[in-house]
Structure 1
Amino acid sequence: MVATSAIAKSSAALGPSTPAPASAAGGAAHFPFGAVQPPRPIPAAKVSTHLGQATDLRTLLAGKITAVQLMFTGCSAICPIQGALFGQLQQALNQRKLPVQLLSLSIDPLGDSPAALAGWLRKFEAGPGWLAVAPQVADVARLSQLLAGDGEDPRQSADVHTAQVFVINRSAAMSYRTATMPAVEPLVDTLTRIVQEA
């Protein structure tokens, strides 16, 4: 079982809309959330999966509703709670038979080898439909800023680590992003609505 008490304690401490910490470089401490209009296309970017396969991020996303989290396996603070959140989310999605893919996207490709990513998934008892990938170093900042940033401020970078969940539609475009560290049930309700409307 995933660490439900850790999620509860963290959610109580952070609150449903508490901003994620600012970066050491002075990045924004508040991240936009809610529906993204128009949906923001995810660019083509080479990634390595937890199975050691080289592929393209858009290829993994196209044709599926996907919930994405930013993480890195060496994190000992918020990332393990995010992993536990996805563990609970996967259980809830399976119970409702919702066709939603989960993707843990590393922001530390130098430290996150396929073996490290596979270990991350094992730690949270990931089942089929939950992938972990690491992009190339050159793509980390633009992917992180595209997902968590305002799309305009070039100073935002991968140094800004958010505990949001990003929903990617079947056209491989971000259509929704949650507040920091969302609760599982409201997130499942949101994903249910998105699947039904897709």
Structure 2
Amino acid sequence: MFRRNVRTCLAPAQPVSLRQLTRRALLCDATLAAMASVSFPAYAQHGTTGLVSPPLRLDDTWLVDQTGRKRLLSDLLLQRVTAVQTIYTGCSSVCPLQGALFSAVQERMPQIRARYPVQLLSIGIDPLSDSPSALHAWLMRFQAGPGWTAATPALRDVDRMRTTLSGSALPLGNLADHATQIYCFDARAMLRWRSDDLPRADEICDVLSALGRT
């Protein structure tokens, strides 16, 4: 169902300034260089990859987004096709690479033809530090647009969410060991696909496109 072909990167649908394009190009180039030169460890919380069969619905829970608004996970996911990542704003190792990865996906989103809106969701897994202001600053660091939200669940819900997302039976590691997989949901808020660690932006877009047509 999901093809792994590489798409041609088209120009953004909306005009942007030369300065914005240059900054984004430099960010993407730096990310690719870093990913090519670093050998990433096998993260403690890493389960299956590929299609999730049968599709899985996460327990509904409250999250607080970058504006301070309290929102149910189901409300964030329903009637949209969503790529989800887990991050924490104090991370200085892989989380900046994850942010740059979603930034690259965001650039390609206008070319995705789907029946439902396509969005990105960064879930903060350190509620003690991932405050609305910290989430907002993290999004602004990667020039997030309106289709990219960040939100943090309550401390009591973090571990259950991390375990369900990854599908791993292994004990959770510390925050620095969090998974760098991307999790894709269909418009019924069902988890349908788990990536490898730090997948290609084109791969994520292919999956979002396929889910958006179903």
Between the aligned partners of 1:116 and 1:102, the Cα distance in structure 2 is: 17
Report the secondary structure of 1:70's partner residue. Answer: strand
* 1:110 alignment partner in structure 2: 128
Between the aligned partners of 1:184 and 1:155, the Cα distance in structure 2 is: 29
* 1:51 alignment partner in structure 2: 67
Residues 18-37 of structure 1 correspond to what in structure 2 (within 5 A)?
A: 20-22=41-43, 27=44, 30-37=46-53
One-letter code aligned to 2:33? K
- Of the candidates 86, 91, 94, which is equivalent to residue 107 of structure 2? 91
Contact 2:83 2:204 (C-alpha < 8 Å) held by counterparts:
no
Deviation at 1:194, TM superposition (A): 1.8
Cα-to-partner distance string for 1:104-144 (whole Å, 9 max, x where unaligned) = 00110110110000001111001111100000000000000
Report the secondary structure of 2:121's partner residue. Answer: strand
One-letter code aligned to 1:116? A
Deviation at 1:157, TM superposition (A): 6.0
Higher mean C-alpha displacement, 113-122 vs 177-186: 177-186
**Where do 5+ consecutive residues of structure 2 fail to align?**
1-22
TM-score computed with the length of structure 1 as normaliser: 0.86
Between the aligned partners of 2:170 and 2:196, the Cα distance in structure 1 is: 22
One-letter code aligned to 1:107? I
Deviation at 1:53, TM superposition (A): 0.4
Distance 1:13 1:39, change over 3 A: farther
**Where do 5+ consecutive residues of structure 1 fail to align?**
none
Is residue 191 of structure 2 the alignment partner of residue 167 of structure 1? no
Distance 1:44 1:119, change over 3 A: same
Is residue 204 of structure 2 the alignment partner of residue 180 of structure 1? no
* 1:192 alignment partner in structure 2: 209
Between the aligned partners of 1:189 and 1:154, the Cα distance in structure 2 is: 29
Report the secondary structure of 2:137's partner residue. Answer: helix
Contact 1:69 1:165 (C-alpha < 8 Å) held by counterparts:
yes
Between the aligned partners of 2:170 and 2:201, the Cα distance in structure 1 is: 32
Deviation at 1:56, TM superposition (A): 0.9
Deviating 4+ runs (over 2 angstroms): 95-99, 153-160
Is residue 124 of structure 2 the alignment partner of residue 100 of structure 1? no
**Percent of aligned positions that are identical:** 35
- Of the candidates 54, 58, 62, which is equivalent to residue 78 of structure 2? 62
Could you say which structure has the larger radius of gyration?
A: 2
TM-score computed with the length of structure 2 as normaliser: 0.80
